[in-house]
Amino acid sequence: MAQVLPAKRPLGLSHRSQASVDSFAPRRKRTRLSHEPSIEPSEDDANLYASADEPSPEPTEADIHGDDEARFARASQIVRKSFRKESDNTPAESGIIEEIGCTNFMCHEQLTVRLGPLINFIIGHNGSGKSAVLTALTLCLGGKATATNRGQNLKSFIKAGKDWSTLSVRIKNQGPGAYKADQYGDSIIVERHFTQNGTSGFKLKDRNGKIVSVKKSELEDIIDHFGLQIDNPLNVLTQDMARQFLNDSNAKDKYKFFLKGTQLETLDRDYSQIQQELEEQKAKHQTLDKDVKELEKIYSRLEKKAQAARGLKKLRAEETLLEHQGAWSFVANDELEAAECEEKISEISNTIQQRKAEADTASENFARLDRAVNEATAATEECQAALEPAQDEEREAIASFTEARTKLLEFKNTERSVVGGMERTKKSMELTQSQIDEHKQRRELADGGLHAQKVRELEDAKAVYEQLKSVWGNHDEALPTLKNESKEAQINLQRLKAQLETNERDETQSKIKIRTLEQGQGNWTDAYPNGENLAKLLKAIAAEREFHEKPIGPIGHYVELKHPRWSSVLEKTLGGVLNAFVVTNKADEVILSDMMKKFNYHATAYIISRTERLNTTGHTPHAGLLTMEGALNISHDLVRNSLITNQSIEQIVLIQNRQEASELAHRSPAQRPNVKAIYCWSDQSHRLGHAFSMNNATGTTSMSAIPEFKGPIRMQADKGHHIQEEKENLARIQREARDLEASVQAAQVQYTAAQATLRNHNTAKKTLQKEMEQAQEDVDRLDGEVAASVPDTAQLEQLEKELDDFQQQLQLDKDQYEDLIGEKDSASKNSKEHKRKADDATRAVKVLQDRLNKCRQEAHERTQAREKALRQKNRAIDHVQKAEETKADWQRRLDEVQVDLETHTEDARNICERVDVPRGATFDSLNRKLEEARKRRAHLEKELGGSQEALVAQALAAKKAWEEAEVFVKNGEALRTSLTHALNQRKEHWKQFRSNISMRARATFCYLLSERRFRGVLLVDHSKKALEMTVQPSGDVNDHVGRQTKTLSGGEKSFSTICLLLALWDAMGSPLRCLDEFDVFMDSVNRDVSMKMIIQAAARSVGRQYILITPQAMNNKDVRSMRDVTVIKMTDPERGQTALNFSR
């Protein structure tokens, strides 16, 4: 439900003509954390409370009996559902009244009441000072004396016989909704002091009693922040006010009371005042628009005269200028000639410098090539020395291979012999088998061939079985290979997919980086980790006064990169150093570390005590080497000192070529003085790199890779170069992505094929298993049938015995053959190994031979290049000499011209100071222009009247008046239109709030009456601005209309009052609700029901504080034992008592 907050100190429209948007709006308040609503909204709530942006018509009486009945039914369902929902009530962290104190106030000389955070019952007999607690709360928090209905001014509240009174209220100030917690702490103490002579003042103190402010505006800000609404009659409601509301007022008065209690009246009054001001502004605008047009006409007329007057002044100035230019024309011609000579001399000087540089370059090139020839010669000798032992190893390897080859041939000869014996045994077996078959054939003639047929069937079945068994046994030999192929295909596919995902992330990051560079970062801190926290930290550092010297940082903000192509390598190697800060002492480092923890910014704080610029003379490498310090432009000396002290940037050398960097790294320390490390680019890309670290003590050198830096650039550099480089990187990533996509598709096909082959293998194995089982059954069946028809012949047995002997011999030969095959395979492997070694040795010799040839070729090429460089060096020296001779000729001509220039200058200076002469102008041409200007001026002087200065001043004044008036009128109209639109929107919102609040109040009122089986209607007619309420007690079952509140008994009136008040409280957003003597006219039944209703309503209003005053005793143990309820019993004052005791 929408909460209606108070509108304190509304400001009216400004009557000044320079009105702005701010002059039409109330003063801005500090943002306040809203309290949680007492009832959680549901889908029904969303339907009930439509969007406030939609215009709603003014509700009429027909709404109650028309479509409004459906909304009322839904609202009733929501109320019943929410009232039946049980939830735990938790105290609010802020805006809770913790303690109320009174001194010399009303009947109390000294009173202190400590309140609970949720439900408080203040009980006591009449005259014990219960109502004084609420009165003190209202007055102390800035309420008016008349609002309490107990006095007309503050003096009337001072205890009899006393001259002054002091009130104090302690407000809880904790959690995220605290008000200026850094100043007040976890409690705010409001103190108000007033005297009999009419003086009154406020003191706002922190938790320890220290005064923070004495301004009432600060108190109003606190009240607005917590939304306490002390002046709201529904927040602090006395019994007299409730009786007047129910009995002594008509429908329109009740409606006004309803609007005032829900704070809608304040908004309506503000909107009416704004509407009146807008109408006045519209009338003023119509008058001002005519004035603007008249001012424009005046300016146009005066501007024409001013333009003519300016022309006259220009003509006079032109005449004087032409006279002076004629005097200096000879000087200008001489200067042009002298400048031409100087330009030629300068060009020739530049040419001389360029040619000297070319000569120096040629000399350096010759010296470099001379060194290169010596290096190539040494490399050739080194290759020659390495070739001889390699040739010896080759000869030894070939000899070993020949020996192993001979042994392999011997095994092959033995193999052929054994194979021949096996062939002979097989032929003998075939002969014996033919005899057995012949014998069996003769026997078959006697038994009709049944036995032979069974034997053939048996042998065929055994052959089939053995074949299937062999195939089945050998089937899984390929299974490990298939599984490995499938596993390798799967791993390859996963690897390629992972690479593709990484590539896609890199592509996304690259596009984001390009878009960020092209659009420009909103804030430079966004390039750093936790950029938002860094911005807050920098603001806090700027505001902090405890630092001896302000910290400098982050370091990257003070560093500019001169060579942008080194950006990735340097960003990666410096890493977190660019996020760090620099301080000058330990105390500042401690403060800065605490602030970093507070703002969750993790970085190092370096302590550099020396603030003057460090002198690195004598500690840097040779001048020809680019160092990290030389590649950076550091704008702060403290940052430079830190990078030199902690990172040694003056001794880190940057070399683009990896080979050159490696050569420098492997030199002796004497050949590379003051070089601590070397960074270079990778051979593949300048975004990758290598780092060479040298240990001069041990003479060792180590190399490590520098990965690509993929984060936002922190060091300043040329943005255009960064964009172009990042676009090239994006193109490279996209090419890699296309290659990876093709590889993934191929790998997917390979993996799918491997899986299919594996499935087919398992299916085939199952099929073979079934076929083999069937063949075994056939063999068993036929074996029994053959046994029943076996012929008994001695000769047949002898032949079969011989056949068995041949088979045994054949098996022995096979065993010998298998052993021989094993030895032959071992010899073959040995031969292959020696062959591999011989091939490796031959390849090594070939590599060394190729390298030797390459070194010889390179030495020859470098010798030719050295000779060419020598010729270029000699030509460059000749060019320098010729250029110096030409320069001398032009210098002589310049000396002659300067003599003439001095003479002409002295003559011209006697006439006037130096003026500029148009290029190419002569004395004759300038004299002709002078005569023409004199004639034009004489003609114009006749036509104009008045001085030139007066005409120009009048035109300028008229222009200024017209422009200011036009801008003023346009701005005023735009402002009025904007404010009118905003006012109409806010009026629509106001109507929606009013409708929703009244609907919720009607439903809640009816539900609460039903707690005692009462029935009632709350009729709200917004068009007539009337509010009517009828109540039907439980006994009046035949009365369908209901009774007016004036006809109710005292208990029924009080119960109805409680129901209405709880219904309106349910629609309000204040965290504080106070009710004075709510049960004074109730009987025990009404009092118990009302008490239960109030406690249930308070429990549903999570975080709200209730202060309820009753003269009745709280004898209900269930209520007193509730953890949310605090009971404060006031003690009757005694005669002469100075402090009033109370018990809880």
Kindly state whether residue 664 falls inside one of the protein's structural domains. yes
Kindly state whether residue 108 falls inside one of the protein's structural domains. no
| 342 half-sphere exposure, CB direction, 13 A CA radius | 8
Residue with tokens 């805006």: 95
How far, in Å, are 50, 61, 331, 846 from residue 67 at the CA level?
14, 11, 99, 102
What is the bridge-based pairing of β-strands 652-655 and 677-681?
parallel
| pLDDT of amino acid 581 | 95
Give the pLDDT confidence of 803-848 residue by residue, as tens digits. 777 777 777 777 777 777 777 788 788 888 878 888 888 888 888 8
Kindly state whether residue 526 falls inside one of the protein's structural domains. yes
The residue among 787, 800, 778 whose CA lies nearest residue 457 is 778
How far, in Å, are 322, 325, 342 from residue 902 at the CA level?
22, 17, 16
Torsion of CA 594, 595, 601, 602, to 10 degrees: -30
- Residue by residue, DSSP assigns 912-943 as -S-----TT--HHHHHHHHHHHHHHHHHHHHH
Q: Which two tokens stand for residue 687?
A: 């975004």
281 in Cβ contact with 24 (< 8 Å): no
Q: Which two tokens stand for residue 1100?
A: 């549903």
The residue among 1024, 1003, 1002 whose CA lies nearest residue 250 is 1024
Kindly state whether residue 660 falls inside one of the protein's structural domains. yes
Q: Which two tokens stand for residue 519?
A: 């659009």
Q: Which two tokens stand for residue 446?
A: 């006697």
Residue with tokens 């129901």: 1059
Give the pLDDT confidence of 120-174 residue by residue, as tens digits. 888 887 778 888 888 888 889 888 888 777 788 888 889 888 899 999 999 999 9
Kindly state whether residue 802 falls inside one of the protein's structural domains. no
Q: Residue 655 contacts by C-beta under 8 Å, 6 or more apart in sequence?
A: 625, 626, 661, 664, 678, 679, 680
| pLDDT of amino acid 445 | 56
1060 in Cβ contact with 1085 (< 8 Å): no
What is the bridge-based pairing of β-strands 1125-1130 and 1142-1143?
antiparallel
- Give every residue of the chain whose pLDDT is below 50, as ranges: 1-66, 792, 1135-1144
Kindly state whether residue 539 falls inside one of the protein's structural domains. yes
- Report phi then psi at 785, rounded to 5: -70, -35
For residue 209, give the 3-state DSSP assignment.
coil
The residue among 703, 705, 716, 567 whose CA lies nearest residue 628 is 567
1092 in Cβ contact with 1008 (< 8 Å): no
Q: Against a cut of 0.85, is the pTM above it? A: no
The span from the CA of 1135 to the CA of 190, in Å, is 30
| pLDDT of amino acid 1052 | 73
The residue among 302, 279, 295, 304 whose CA lies nearest residue 966 is 295
The residue among 734, 726, 721, 704 whose CA lies nearest residue 572 is 704
What is the bridge-based pairing of β-strands 1105-1110 and 119-123?
parallel
| pLDDT of amino acid 793 | 53
Kindly state whether residue 319 falls inside one of the protein's structural domains. no
What is the bridge-based pairing of β-strands 626-627 and 652-655?
antiparallel
The span from the CA of 356 to the CA of 55, in Å, is 86
| pLDDT of amino acid 940 | 67
The helix/strand count (H/E) of the chain reads as: 24, 24
Residue type, 427: K
Burial class (CB in 10 A: 0-12, 13-18, 19+), 990: middle
Q: Which domain holds residue 533?
A: 522-711
What is the bridge-based pairing of β-strands 94-105 and 108-114?
antiparallel
The residue among 602, 597, 581 whose CA lies nearest residue 530 is 602
C-beta atoms surrounding 671 within 10 Å: 10
The span from the CA of 995 to the CA of 436, in Å, is 119
| pLDDT of amino acid 193 | 93
Q: Which two tokens stand for residue 718?
A: 């040329």
How many domains are there within the chain? 1
| pLDDT of amino acid 970 | 82
The span from the CA of 484 to the CA of 494, in Å, is 15
| pLDDT of amino acid 8 | 42
Kindly state whether residue 620 falls inside one of the protein's structural domains. yes
Q: Cis check for the bond before 554: say yes or no (omega within 30 of 0).
A: yes
| pLDDT of amino acid 627 | 92
